[in-house]
Amino acid sequence: MEISIKRAQELVDQWIKEKGVRYFNELTNLAQLTEEVGELARIIGRTYGEQSFKETDKEVNLADEMADVLFVLICLANQTGVDLTEAFEKNMEKKTHRDSERHKNNKKLN
Pairwise CA distance, residues 64 & 71, whole Å = 10
pTM (predicted TM-score): 0.89
CA dihedral angle for residue 44, residue 96, residue 9, residue 3, rounded to 10 degrees = -80
pLDDT (tens digit, 9 = 90+) per residue, 71-99?
999 999 999 999 999 999 999 999 998 88
* Per-domain boundaries in the chain: 5-83
Q: For position 109, what pLDDT does the model report?
A: 83
Q: For position 57, what pLDDT does the model report?
A: 75
pLDDT (tens digit, 9 = 90+) per residue, 17-39?
999 999 999 999 999 999 999 99
Secondary structure in 3-state letters for 53-69: CCHHHCCCCHHHHHHHH
Spell out the CATH class of 5-83: mainly alpha
User: Average pLDDT in the 60-66 region?
Assistant: 95
Contact in structure between 46 and 78 (CB atoms under 8 Å): no
